[in-house]
Amino acid sequence: MKKIKALYYFGTALLMIVAASCNKDFKKLVPDSGDGAGDLDYKAPKVLYLIVDGARGTSVRDAANTTNIKSLVPNSIHTWTSISDTSRNDATNWADMMTGVKKEKHNVLNNTFTGNKLDQFPVIFDLVKSVEPDFRTASFASSNLFKEKLTNGASVSESFNNNDDATKDRIVNFLTNDSASIVVGQFSNVDAAGRLAGSGFDLSFPAYKAAIEKFDTQVGEILTALRGRANYSKENWLIIVTSNRGGQFTLPPIQDDKTLFSNTNANTFTIFHNPAYKFTFIGKPFLGNTYTGKAVRFKGDPEKSVGTVSAALSPNFNFGTNQDFTVSIKVKKGKPKDTGGGDYWYEWPSILGKRNTQGWGGSTAPGNPGWDIALFYNEWRLMIQGGEGNINGEEPAGRSFSGDTWHDLTFVVERKADGFRYLRMYTDGVKGLTNRNGGSRNSPNMDDYRIPGTPNFDNNAPMRVGFSPGELNGGKGYINVQLAELKVWKAAIPEKDIQTYSCDATMDESHPYYSFLVGYWPMLDGSGNKLKDVGGPYEADMTLSGVYAWEDFTNLICSPSNTNLGTLVPKNSDIPTQILSFFNIARQDKWGLDGRVWIAN
């Protein structure tokens, strides 16, 4: 019987390994082998998931007395520079961490949970139980809000009115006696210490430092209880310790690279520990090259900072119904007035274009013909309107890009042999549409987009950079940007040349399409009220008006977007996916998960 039983287990194990190999994103740890007597002793997979609010990753890393947390590091996938959402509120980040999708899907935008879509994107307990109905799960939260909104589906769910000690004691007691496969613990007191009057989110503040060290002690007690379980030797535990977000602290200038990694509110730490994991450290990635100069800061209403080409010369930048053309601009986003959606989250403001107003401005001919580039969420949209079949307008979206560093936005309109005009959009030289041809933020479409109808780009509007009136969503529609390197070609630049030159800080006659320029404004003049056209045949200088200021800058150029950074370091929405992978539960399309799985060395 032992031989038959061993063959049965071997066959089962082989099927599991083959199934896992067919889906490389969901690799399962190979269970420990048995005693060699013919029966394979598989350890039961279990997860302990501890969330500490407001613990900056670098503060946890640098704290001397965090020995219990750091004891997990040698057998872990870990980073001190994982990233959260930039919205600064707990609910959005908790939702990311419990659903495996980001706010664009779960729509938890603030601590009221108003308008959330958690029924469409359920939490990890519901995801697991939809596949394994008998799974026993538990959540113990310091925050009553966390329990109320994000623990539906848990077999056990309790909260403790912001009392971390009570939360820890209950987890310790629960781990001693219960058989649950997933145990979640959420802690609030580190965040509370950072918010105290006279304190802040850095080790230089005694209350914050003490709270991090207290949490470490609590982690130690929980680990002791876990390892003291009667069946611990028969269990295979994935231990996750992480923070939901960081907190506000002004970095010394020498440490501030103006990327997301210098956003102290988004700086978290993440540890995935398992005895079978080898030491796997995920560090801060390469973030781009340095770009230096002096450029105008353009702002929205009431400053209305704008640069325009004269009425006499602006018609040279009309491109009618047939002409190929390409437009490229360098942009550095500052923060809008309303950062409720995130530090660089915009809704509709134009930064560049040739149309009278931003928005649609009527749906009857001729409408509001022309084009402009508008900022929308963390992406950008090309607003197109005018011409037969295009009176109502189009708004294809390009890839997302980060704030407070420089990025290149380029679009190409090309008339092809079939008589239609097609659009290509590039962000830092990388092609992609996120709302056309089936594209999305997480999976941009790489095909050319056929613009409907016969778009007509002729109008009497000035060629413009900066502010444009129109459809703007309050403080989220207030521009705060620096612009540079505006180029307009009367040609469809090939993709290979866009990829080669998009992140260059300047342009000269070595560019293969230099002779096709109809306007080139470096926009780094440094003073005065003119933006010189130095490359086109029309000498179409722009005149600045409104309230504006020339500002020095030394920043990175073409640094990865927040979306791309999410593939380079762990993010909050990765954690549910990691848990599902550990249990060998395959991702289902209907879940729409945004997370990825991190594999140990």
- Residue of 26, 37, 49, 27 lying closest to 3 (CA atoms): 37
Contact 519, 365 (CB under 8 A): no
pLDDT reading at 577 higher than 80: yes
- Residue of 589, 571, 579, 566 lying closest to 92 (CA atoms): 571
- Write the pLDDT tens digit of every residue in 338-393: 998 888 999 999 999 999 888 876 666 677 899 999 999 999 999 998 888 888 88
Lowest mean pLDDT among 33-42, 417-426, 512-521: 33-42
- Write the pLDDT tens digit of every residue in 88-141: 899 999 999 999 999 999 999 999 999 999 999 999 999 999 999 999 999 999
Name the pLDDT band for 311 (thresholds 50, 70, 90): very high
Considering the chain, what percentage of its residues have pLDDT values greater than 70? 92
Note the pLDDT of residue 17.
Answer: 36
Q: What is the mean pLDDT of residues 165-189?
A: 97
Name the pLDDT band for 10 (thresholds 50, 70, 90): very low
Residue 516 is classified by DSSP as G
Note the pLDDT of residue 367.
Answer: 74
Q: Where are the alpha helices (DSSP H) in 287-402?
A: none
- Write the pLDDT tens digit of every residue in 496-515: 999 999 988 888 888 999 99
Name the pLDDT band for 41 (thresholds 50, 70, 90): low
Kindly compute the dihedral angle of the four CA atoms of residues 443, 446, 452, 457, in this order, to the nearest 10 degrees: 110
Q: What is the mean pLDDT of residues 53-71?
A: 96
Instruction: Output 12 or 242, whichever has higher pLDDT.
Output: 242
Instruction: Report the alpha-carbon distance of residue 557 to residue 555 in Å, rounded.
Output: 7
If residue 175 lies in a helix (H) or strand (E), which one and from where to where?
helix 164-177
Note the pLDDT of residue 563.
Answer: 67
- Write the pLDDT tens digit of every residue in 537-551: 999 999 999 999 999
Q: How many residues in total does the chain contain?
A: 601
Q: What is the mean pLDDT of residues 221-232?
A: 97
Distances 597 to 28, 134, 284, 575 between C-alpha atoms, Å: 11, 24, 18, 8
User: How far does CA 24 lie from the centroid of its chain?
Assistant: 23
Q: What is the mean pLDDT of residues 204-216?
A: 97
Q: Which residues pair with 484 in a beta bridge?
A: 330
In one letter, which amino acid is 587?
Answer: R
Note the pLDDT of residue 393.
Answer: 85
Query: In this structure, what token pair is assigned to residue 467?
Result: 């502010």
Instruction: Report the alpha-carbon distance of residue 79 to residue 84 in Å, rounded.
Output: 13
In one letter, which amino acid is 238?
Answer: L
- Write the pLDDT tens digit of every residue in 450-469: 999 898 999 999 999 999 99
Secondary structure class of 518 (helix, strand, coil): strand
Note the pLDDT of residue 7.
Answer: 35
Q: Strands (DSSP E) along 378-432, which ranges?
A: 379-385, 387-388, 397-398, 406-415, 421-427, 430-431
Distances 476 to 114, 301, 335, 370, 405 between C-alpha atoms, Å: 19, 12, 9, 24, 19
- Residue of 349, 348, 242 lying closest to 298 (CA atoms): 349
Q: Which residue has the tokens 């067919």?
A: 22
pLDDT reading at 39 higher than 90: no
pLDDT reading at 33 higher than 60: no
- Residue of 601, 587, 579 lying closest to 125 (CA atoms): 579
Considering the chain, what percentage of its residues have pLDDT values greater than 90? 76
